Structure 1
Amino acid sequence: MNIKSLLLGSAAALAVVSGAQAADAIVAAEPEPVEYVRVCDAYGTGYFYIPGTETCLKIEGYIRFQTDFTFGDLADNGGGEDWSARTRGQVAFTAKSDTEYGPLTGVIVYQANFRPNGVANSQDDQNDTVIDEAYIDIAGFRVGKFVNWWDADFSGETEVINNNTNFNAIRYQYDSGDFYAGIAVEELTRTGLGQDNGGNNVGIDAAVGGKFGAISWELLGGYDLDRADGAVRGIIYADIGPGTFGLAGVYASGPSDYYDNGEWAIAAQYAVKATDKFTITPAVQYTDNIDIDADEDFDGGSEWRAGVTLDYEIVENLTTKVTVNYISQDHDNGDEDEDGVTGFFRLQRSF
């Protein structure tokens, strides 16, 4: 065998081996295309499409630190002064998609509170994580756990013109922008009125309101079927001078989850936007028949509240709120008259 034959044979062998290896080679799969998050502007700012769907999602919330204080007879320890601090974290998920009946909306709001060391301003201890709201909206109907119309009280922190506002409920609301009206059936909670959770615990809630020009208004009422008592409330706002004037009146036939602070009350505030970042809101309220007897009926007494709330935007999404209120209570049921100063300092980062 000569050298030429040897070289030709070696080349042929190498070609066969190389071909076999090529046949067994691993070929990398082509990467699947990535669907990047797309902005959804159909429902306002902050929404994005959930990848692979036509559902728009918005995530928002806040972190809040607050210190409450009470000076005088109103302190829960019987006099002197009291204070307590609270930290809260809240996150809200809102999902929206189009249907033949209009937008289908789902909302979940988680809230966590940490306040381990006592009370101030007659507020209970809070150290819990809860579903603050969870509801479904479509074609004007809402079902689930959500705050009702009573939650829309004054912007300041002086008046007390509502009670509980968060129930399991079914409601319908018509809203044309400048006018709205609705009715709701709510499962009441019996909070703070000394009754057990027996009975049907059913309430009927209704509201009507709107705006025209510089004036907005709302009239609402709630009725407790078991107690056969209810409350009505009216609020009107008007842009006057450098601020917005608010006037509210409440009447209750008896204590209920809708209102149990007194038989009737009238409150007023004037929110002045001193600068783009600073708002000053003085307010006053008078409440009559604040005492509740053994039969859970209003039984005399009265209360005055007067105070001021300061709101300041430190930077975008970081705000502070300070309120200071003087409260004077006169009792006709044998309890000692009380007065004192209450308020809080709040720092909140929203996103």
Structure 2
Amino acid sequence: MNIKSLLLGSAAALAVVSGAQAADAVVAAEPEPMEYVRVCDAYGTGFFYIPGTETCLKVGGLLRFEKNYSKADNSKAYYEWHTRARIQIEAKNDSEWGTVYSWIRLQGDSYNNTVEDGAGGNRTRWWYYFGIGGLEFGRFDAPGTRFQGYGGRTDWGGYYGNDHNQQYISYTFNYDNFSAFVALENDLYNGVNYNYVNELDNVVLDQEKSDGGRTYMPNVSAGVKGSFGDYEVGAFVGYDESIESFNVRKWVRGDIGMFGFTLMGLYSDDARNEYFNYDGFSGILGLSAKVTDTVTVAKDIQWWDDDSWRVIGNVNWKVASGFSVLLEASYGDGKQVGDKVKTGMLRFQRSF
């Protein structure tokens, strides 16, 4: 056997061995395509598409710590600690009938380490609404209160209604710079009407006027507003069917450069009116100024025609993106407020 034959035989043997090893080799499967989360910019910032759908989702919330102070004339000062945690989820998608949307908020509050839920200490509450186009169903602050942009310029914002935390059906119509709404609101609470007198913070059910939930009629509210450059003008009317009472609100709001103002007038013909627990007229004047890119100051002044009044002022500092500090104080006097009442609040908040 010569050298050439030996080399050819060795090469053939190696080929056989290599082929046997190749037959036993594990071949990796091709990776399946991954669907990454896509940003949805159709409804503003923070939305993303739920993978595999055309529904846009937004998750947000806040954490809050507050130290509160309250002092009335001829009484001891009262100090309170308050913490809050909130999470909310919003979902939207398009349809031939308009935007289909839903909103859910879960919020927990703790006052002075009290652990019993619903007893003035810890409170866990849900709010929610959903709709399509301009039609909405839910349980939250009343449509009229949200439609008017709430109250003044401070966190407290003035006393402008009691129509919060309610079940409702509403329809909102938008055309160019104008919008209008109409709503039906459930006026029953634990099976009886919201027929009470608000005596400072003491709720007293009016048994004489309450129908015990036997009637089917809800409360009715409606409003209209329009934007004209830097200004907004609007009007609202709410009818409390249980006591056949009306509440009327009108407002003018403006934001011109670094300055802003809100002027609101309110009238109700019965102190038990659900929309505004007062028999008479009240006015709110709110002012605000953006002093720097991170600091805003605001003031609200409210007066009632029984000569009650209250002044609220605050300073809000946006320390960083998602973190702020708010210092707010108030002073007031009269039947609607209390006897020379002073309050103060320092808040630290993380929002996302």
* TM-score of the pair, normalised by structure 1: 0.80
Alpha carbons of 1:52 and 1:176: their partners in 2 closer, same or farther (altered >3 Å)? same
Q: Which residue of 2 aligns with 1:100?
A: 96
* 1:320 lines up with 2:320 in the alignment: no
Q: Which residue of 2 aligns with 1:343?
A: 344
Alpha carbons of 1:239 and 1:107: their partners in 2 closer, same or farther (altered >3 Å)? closer
Alpha carbons of 1:92 and 1:201: their partners in 2 closer, same or farther (altered >3 Å)? farther
The answer (yes or no) to whether the contact 1:208–1:220 under 8 Å persists in 2 is yes
* 1:277 lines up with 2:294 in the alignment: yes
Q: 1:88 aligns with which of 79, 84, 87?
A: 84
Tell me which amino acid in the other structure corresponds to 2:95.
T
* Deviation of 1:182 (Å): 0.6
Residue aligned with 1:204, SS:
strand
| Cα-Cα RMSD | 2.9
Tell me which amino acid in the other structure corresponds to 1:348.
Q
The answer (yes or no) to whether the contact 1:193–1:256 under 8 Å persists in 2 is no
Q: Which residue of 2 aligns with 1:266?
A: 283
Matched residues in 2 for 1:176 and 1:314: separation?
38
The answer (yes or no) to whether the contact 1:158–1:308 under 8 Å persists in 2 is no
C-alpha deviations, 1:74-125, integer Å up to 9, x for none?
xxxx71100211111111111111111122111111111111458xxxxx82
Residue aligned with 1:39, SS:
coil
Q: Which residue of 2 aligns with 1:227?
A: 243
Show the 5 A alignment for 1:230-245.
230-239=246-255, 243-245=259-261
* Deviation of 1:176 (Å): 2.7
Q: 1:144 aligns with which of 138, 148, 162?
A: 138
Matched residues in 1 for 2:226 and 2:289: separation?
22
* Deviation of 1:163 (Å): 1.7
C-alpha deviations, 1:303-334, integer Å up to 9, x for none?
11123121211112111222111110148xxx
Q: Please, which runs of 5 or more residues in structure 1 have no aligned partner?
A: 1-7, 119-123, 290-301, 332-336
C-alpha deviations, 1:266-314, integer Å up to 9, x for none?
121211222222122222111135xxxxxxxxxxxx4111231212111
Residue range with higher mean Cα deviation, 50-59 or 271-280: 271-280
Alpha carbons of 1:22 and 1:278: their partners in 2 closer, same or farther (altered >3 Å)? closer
Tell me which amino acid in the other structure corresponds to 1:279.
T
Q: Which residue of 1 aligns with 2:4?
A: none
Q: Which residue of 1 aligns with 2:183?
A: 184
* Deviation of 1:33 (Å): 2.1
C-alpha deviations, 1:205-227, integer Å up to 9, x for none?
11111210222122112111112
Residue aligned with 1:150, SS:
helix
Q: Which residue of 1 aligns with 2:6?
A: none
Number of residue pairs matched by the alignment: 314
Matched residues in 1 for 2:233 and 2:121: separation?
34
* 1:250 lines up with 2:249 in the alignment: no
Q: Which residue of 1 aligns with 2:304?
A: 287
Matched residues in 2 for 1:117 and 1:27: separation?
61
Q: Please, which runs of 5 or more residues in structure 2 have no aligned partner?
A: 1-8, 197-202
Alpha carbons of 1:268 and 1:32: their partners in 2 closer, same or farther (altered >3 Å)? same
* 1:79 lines up with 2:75 in the alignment: yes
Q: Which residue of 1 aligns with 2:213?
A: 198
Matched residues in 1 for 2:267 and 2:90: separation?
35
Show the 5 A alignment for 1:22-37.
29-37=29-37
* Deviation of 1:25 (Å): 8.0
Alpha carbons of 1:61 and 1:176: their partners in 2 closer, same or farther (altered >3 Å)? farther
* Deviation of 1:343 (Å): 2.8
Matched residues in 2 for 1:215 and 1:306: separation?
24
Alpha carbons of 1:264 and 1:117: their partners in 2 closer, same or farther (altered >3 Å)? farther
The answer (yes or no) to whether the contact 2:113–2:121 under 8 Å persists in 1 is no
Residue aligned with 2:300, SS:
strand
C-alpha deviations, 1:142-174, integer Å up to 9, x for none?
112232221421121352112232311110001
Alpha carbons of 1:23 and 1:241: their partners in 2 closer, same or farther (altered >3 Å)? closer
Alpha carbons of 1:184 and 1:345: their partners in 2 closer, same or farther (altered >3 Å)? same
* Deviation of 1:181 (Å): 0.3
* TM-score of the pair, normalised by structure 2: 0.79
